[in-house]
Amino acid sequence: MKGFLDLADLGREGVLDLLRLAERLRRSPEPTALAGRVLGLLFFNPSLRTLSSMQVAMTRLGGTSFVITPGTGSWQLESRDGVVMNGAAAEHVREAIPVLASYCDALGVRAFADGRDLARDLAEPAISQIESLCHVPLINLESAVNHPCQALADWRTLDDLGVPRNGKLVLSWVNHPRALPLAVPAAVAHMAALRGMEVVVLRPDGFALPPAIMEKARQAAALAGGRVAETADRDAAISGAHVVYAKEWGLTAPYGDAEADGRARAGLTNWTLRESWFRRAQPDCRLMHCLPVRRNLAVADEVLDGPRSVVIQQAHNRLTVQVAVLHRLLAGTDPQD
Amino acid sequence: MKGFLDLADLGREGVLDLLRLAERLRRSPEPTALAGRVLGLLFFNPSLRTLSSMQVAMTRLGGTSFVITPGTGSWQLESRDGVVMNGAAAEHVREAIPVLASYCDALGVRAFADGRDLARDLAEPAISQIESLCHVPLINLESAVNHPCQALADWRTLDDLGVPRNGKLVLSWVNHPRALPLAVPAAVAHMAALRGMEVVVLRPDGFALPPAIMEKARQAAALAGGRVAETADRDAAISGAHVVYAKEWGLTAPYGDAEADGRARAGLTNWTLRESWFRRAQPDCRLMHCLPVRRNLAVADEVLDGPRSVVIQQAHNRLTVQVAVLHRLLAGTDPQD
Amino acid sequence: MKGFLDLADLGREGVLDLLRLAERLRRSPEPTALAGRVLGLLFFNPSLRTLSSMQVAMTRLGGTSFVITPGTGSWQLESRDGVVMNGAAAEHVREAIPVLASYCDALGVRAFADGRDLARDLAEPAISQIESLCHVPLINLESAVNHPCQALADWRTLDDLGVPRNGKLVLSWVNHPRALPLAVPAAVAHMAALRGMEVVVLRPDGFALPPAIMEKARQAAALAGGRVAETADRDAAISGAHVVYAKEWGLTAPYGDAEADGRARAGLTNWTLRESWFRRAQPDCRLMHCLPVRRNLAVADEVLDGPRSVVIQQAHNRLTVQVAVLHRLLAGTDPQD
């Protein structure tokens, strides 16, 4: 494994293999496997789970890490090619990435979507540019339209819970004060499809996931025996569901228009996920969410505090699976000069 | 020891036992006692000593740590129950604390007082809520009205200096540009009383420590053979003192009224602690302060730079005693899954 | 070695010896040499390379580190003596430095120039004050007019590249939106002179390096057989050069006048280093820069992305030489109490 950028790069067998490694390392920890190895962590955007769990994952394997946050203690970074750098950014990623990579054995990067141009965001310009500049294994800590660490942790959580491989997962849009990126919905739809599940994307009009994201999930489903559908009909969607995965994202038609997005969500105040949503679901239907979650706006207290919620377990599995990702990338290789 | 929230939880013998452990670990370091263990550190407020000394304390025992600072690289956190989260905070402590706790073997949290409602601050809502959400040992890194790490370090410093168990400690209000919390004065008054000292709280009118804080100190004194008094008479207070512990805090009558506080302290410009204050004290009377200290406003250069000051020694003892706290909480236990 | 504040303190033989140690540790790593040792890192100014490479350097030797950033998670620090601290700074370096030093085995500090009073900046008030307050080895991570870690890395880079000891190094002013400090130009001019090189400082009128800086470089040259000159004639300067070291700095005549500086650089838009500058240089003349660099303002893409550029190699050598600095300062000594 040369990097960890997209679950799709591994294929279904590759994911299952990584999950087996995660379980093996949980049962039989290897506290010196990455002794002397260093993980660089570059955060262009805020983080709680990823920031802490990646550091702890290295610790679990005997390695260390450092954190760089452009604009907070470190220079703001430019990414546009050919630009005359007379603005706020003091450094270009064309220097910053090779330099940071030269100090570490693997580099993790979080770089959210711009959220203005859909075609551009779908092309993953930031993480692709960084990959081209990085000579050590690169780990995607959430990019414009992907979040493979989250997806891998969620797969493990579904396994932990005994959710059938071909069970029904509803990825439901929920409310939020403003447009959020498509990274988690895209990653979760693909992951569940690759697991072989029946995936239903439930969202209001205007919030359909872009065709490229749906198509990627459908291709995964085709390989794994799953199905992918979308609808705005809540009751039909959740009927018989084993899991409702709640997630906030922005208006997609049109994409990147904050004003239109605000108008659209003003009429969607009934998209706070409540216990009543589950009446046609499987009795033990679970609530999943990647966190952070805005209580009583995205998901009601009654659901988050009730027995359906597995959000803490999902977050803990971030650590469990990332230990495996780091082990697979770095164990047994030669350290950096 | 299931956590470290309040010196009062340990009782006098428990504190003495912890101080003996600190001395033992200073003389005979145990550099692998906490190998593989992780301390999570969550700072809602700024820090210099606590932030660095807690990290170093884990290092001394072979463990590691990570730091989360809500609002700086991490999401702002909400703590109110039942609120509709449509404001600046993206995440609730009801998720953040269990998640962070799931990544570490112990969690340290700093959460200052709101400073608006005295009854609420005395009830320690933040640290109590966090304790209820945290399944690993919790360490209080300064809460609304407590700072047990500071109090423990100060007790050790008094011992280091040979200050008699029943010596006289004056906890003196000193000037500051604005109201500061009651955490350190409350913790120091209680600690000195529990050590068996004669404690005199010296403060201007309007700045009396709240009855609940005085009562807790008096109860400790009753157990330990000490005494607790308060006065606005500086000369009487400092007469015969072995230690003057300078500290800034806010107006308490009324509490939480910034305007009244500002008016009150405008007339208190002579409450900068100076060498002349010590004329009736013991000749070798010491100056203690928890730091940070505003020079020439709270304490004059002539005192801080003179032989009475032991503020650096106090700060160094933070490390010494915290090593013992971490050892007591984590050594010999099973690591987190 | 009691600290690492200025390459001049080591002398030429001392520098060569440290570079030999860096090479030895690269070939034969000592991953436990600093086990249990702690490096404190105090950053008054932003950093990418120094922040990450110092942490990694400690890791390479088995040690650990912590980072304090005044004003971001930690208190703002005052440095003026005798001041009444009624402003934004909650703590004075007179407390902060001894306290931090008491938690670590060595302390690294970055404190840029004020940029207002040349005589004051040349006197290095911040790092000198900190040195007087610090009882553990102090490492200069860039001070008002020095950057010895950068200079040492650059010397190694020149050696790596086979640049002749008496080769020609042109230190060239390049464009930037505003005045930057003299630390790197001063350190590089001195380093190259001490290496025995022919040093030419190329800069527009008004940007001459201050006499004290030139004189220090000339003294080093006198000892090492080098030469130091300055000129505004670009073609003459670069003719026959083995290296062009590009660097931005502020107007020096007058110094510290932002308005005059802005007027001066408005007429200097042709001071973006381009490939055409090299026509009279040695064919394999190199481009050096300490980074961060503003592309197409300080140095054109065509040079940074071309074969002349060794800026990434310079940055990587920061790690290589800092491992040696830390080893020299701390290996074999007794750890802090």
The mean per-residue pLDDT over the stretch C5-34 comes to 98
Within a domain: B155: no
The mean per-residue pLDDT over the stretch A250-268 comes to 96
Alpha-carbon distance of A49 to A152, in angstroms, equals: 14
Alpha-carbon distance of C99 to A64, in angstroms, equals: 26
Alpha-carbon distance of C336 to B57, in angstroms, equals: 12
Residues C110 and C231 in one domain: no
Within a domain: C152: no
Min distance B1 CA to chain C CA atoms (Å): 25
Residues C130 and C206 in one domain: no
Alpha-carbon distance of C323 to C230, in angstroms, equals: 34
Q: How confident is the model at residue B78 (pLDDT cuts 50, 70, 90)?
A: very high
Within a domain: B335: no
The mean per-residue pLDDT over the stretch C48-69 comes to 98
Alpha-carbon distance of C313 to C153, in angstroms, equals: 9
Interface test with B, best of C74, C75, C109 (most B CBs within 10 A): C74
What pairing do the DSSP bridges indicate for beta strands C38-43 and C106-110? parallel
Contact (Cβ atoms closer than 8 angstroms) between residue A33 and residue A329: no
| pLDDT surpasses 80 at A337 | no
Cβ burial, residue C316 (10 Å; 0-12/13-18/19+): buried
CA distances from A270 to A172, A182, A238, B92, C125 (A): 13, 21, 16, 21, 62
Contact (Cβ atoms closer than 8 angstroms) between residue B183 and residue B50: no
CB contact under 8 A, A291 and B66: no
Name every chain B residue with its beta carbon within 8 A of the beta carbon of A311.
95
Domain that holds residue C12: 7-146+318-330
The mean per-residue pLDDT over the stretch A132-155 comes to 98
Contact (Cβ atoms closer than 8 angstroms) between residue C40 and residue C55: no
Q: How confident is the model at residue B253 (pLDDT cuts 50, 70, 90)?
A: very high
- Give residues 40 to 59 of B whose Cβ lies within 8 Å of C: 43, 46-49, 51-53, 55-56, 59
Min distance A219 CA to chain C CA atoms (Å): 39
Q: Can you give the pLDDT at residue A333?
A: 77
Q: Can you give the pLDDT at residue B1?
A: 84
Alpha-carbon distance of B216 to B194, in angstroms, equals: 10
Q: How confident is the model at residue B337 (pLDDT cuts 50, 70, 90)?
A: low
Q: How confident is the model at residue C135 (pLDDT cuts 50, 70, 90)?
A: very high
The mean per-residue pLDDT over the stretch C175-196 comes to 97
SS3 of residue A332 by DSSP: coil
Q: What pLDDT, in 10s, does the model give residues A295-332? A: 999 999 999 999 999 999 999 999 999 999 999 999 98
Residues A222 and A107 in one domain: no
Alpha-carbon distance of C98 to C91, in angstroms, equals: 12
Q: Where are the alpha helices (DSSP H) in C76-210?
A: 93-102, 118-122, 125-133, 148-160, 183-195
Tokens (6 digits) for A287: 């609530």
Count of the separate structural domains present in chain C: 2
Alpha-carbon distance of B151 to B187, in angstroms, equals: 6
What pairing do the DSSP bridges indicate for beta strands C38-43 and B227-231? unpaired
How far is residue C234 CA from its own chain's centroid?
24
Within a domain: C261: yes
| A117: number of Cβ within 10 Å | 13
**Taking Cα atoms as reference points, which of C274, C268, C258 lies closest to residue C306?**
C274
CA distances from C303 to A225, C185, C188, C289, C297 (A): 53, 20, 20, 11, 12
B161 in contact with chain C, both atoms CB, cutoff 8 A: no
Residues B12 and B140 in one domain: yes
Closest partner residue to C85 (CB to CB) among B49, B296, B305 is B296
Residues A70 and A209 in one domain: no
Residues C137 and C233 in one domain: no
Q: Can you give the pLDDT at residue C192?
A: 98
- Give residues 282 to 311 of B whose Cβ lies within 8 Å of C: 291-298, 301, 304-305, 311
| pLDDT surpasses 90 at A223 | yes
Residues C190 and C115 in one domain: no
The mean per-residue pLDDT over the stretch B306-311 comes to 98
Name every chain C residue with its beta carbon within 8 A of the beta carbon of A36.
29, 31, 59-60
A86 in contact with chain C, both atoms CB, cutoff 8 A: yes
Within a domain: A18: yes
| pLDDT surpasses 70 at A16 | yes
Q: How confident is the model at residue C334 (pLDDT cuts 50, 70, 90)?
A: confident
Percent of chain B surpassing pLDDT 90: 98
Within a domain: C235: yes
Residues B17 and B142 in one domain: yes
CA distances from C223 to C8, C151, C190, C219 (A): 11, 18, 11, 6
Name residue C91's beta-bridge partners.
C77
In the block, tokens 């920031």 appear at A51
Min distance B41 CA to chain A CA atoms (Å): 10
Q: Can you give the pLDDT at residue B336?
A: 67
| pLDDT surpasses 80 at B239 | yes
Size of interface A-C (CB pairs under 8 A): 93
Q: Can you give the pLDDT at residue A332?
A: 86
Alpha-carbon distance of A265 to A267, in angstroms, equals: 5
The mean per-residue pLDDT over the stretch A81-110 comes to 98
Closest partner residue to A85 (CB to CB) among C49, C60, C295 is C295
The mean per-residue pLDDT over the stretch B231-252 comes to 98
Contact (Cβ atoms closer than 8 angstroms) between residue C80 and residue C172: no
Q: What pLDDT, in 10s, does the model give residues B201-212? A: 999 999 999 999
Within a domain: A105: yes
DSSP A4: B
Q: Can you give the pLDDT at residue B25?
A: 98
Q: How confident is the model at residue C337 (pLDDT cuts 50, 70, 90)?
A: low
Beta-carbon contacts of residue A102 (< 8 Å; ≥ 6 apart):
A336, C312, C315, C316, C319
Q: How confident is the model at residue B108 (pLDDT cuts 50, 70, 90)?
A: very high
DSSP letters for A120-149: HHHT-HHHHHHHHH--S-EEESSBTTB-HH
Q: What pLDDT, in 10s, does the model give residues C280-332? A: 999 999 999 999 999 999 999 999 999 999 999 999 999 999 999 999 999 98
Closest partner residue to A48 (CB to CB) among B38, B85, B91 is B91
The mean per-residue pLDDT over the stretch B137-165 comes to 98
CB contact under 8 A, B56 and C99: no
Residues B167 and B305 in one domain: yes
Percent of chain C surpassing pLDDT 70: 99
Alpha-carbon distance of C235 to C227, in angstroms, equals: 18
Residues B173 and B252 in one domain: yes
Q: How confident is the model at residue C165 (pLDDT cuts 50, 70, 90)?
A: very high
Residue A267's CATH number: 3.40.50.1370
Contact (Cβ atoms closer than 8 angstroms) between residue B106 and residue B329: yes
CA distances from A285 to A54, A165, A169, A277, C184 (A): 30, 14, 9, 11, 62
The mean per-residue pLDDT over the stretch C252-272 comes to 96
Contact (Cβ atoms closer than 8 angstroms) between residue A248 and residue A180: yes
SS3 of residue C300 by DSSP: coil
Residues B142 and B235 in one domain: no
Q: Can you give the pLDDT at residue A164?
A: 98
- Per-chain mean pLDDT for chain A: 97
Closest partner residue to A75 (CB to CB) among C26, C46, C312 is C46
Interface test with B, best of A269, A294, A313 (most B CBs within 10 A): A294
Name every chain A residue with its beta carbon within 8 A of the beta carbon of B51.
none
Residues B126 and B210 in one domain: no
Alpha-carbon distance of B124 to B111, in angstroms, equals: 10
Asked whether the bond before B292 is cis by omega within 30 degrees of 0, the reply is yes
B32 in contact with chain C, both atoms CB, cutoff 8 A: no
Q: Which amino acid is at A316?
A: H
Alpha-carbon distance of B314 to B287, in angstroms, equals: 10
Within a domain: A337: no
Interface test with B, best of A26, A56, A274 (most B CBs within 10 A): A56
- CB half-sphere exposure, C287, CA atoms < 13 A: 27
Closest partner residue to C91 (CB to CB) among B53, B56, B292 is B292
CB contact under 8 A, A96 and C48: yes
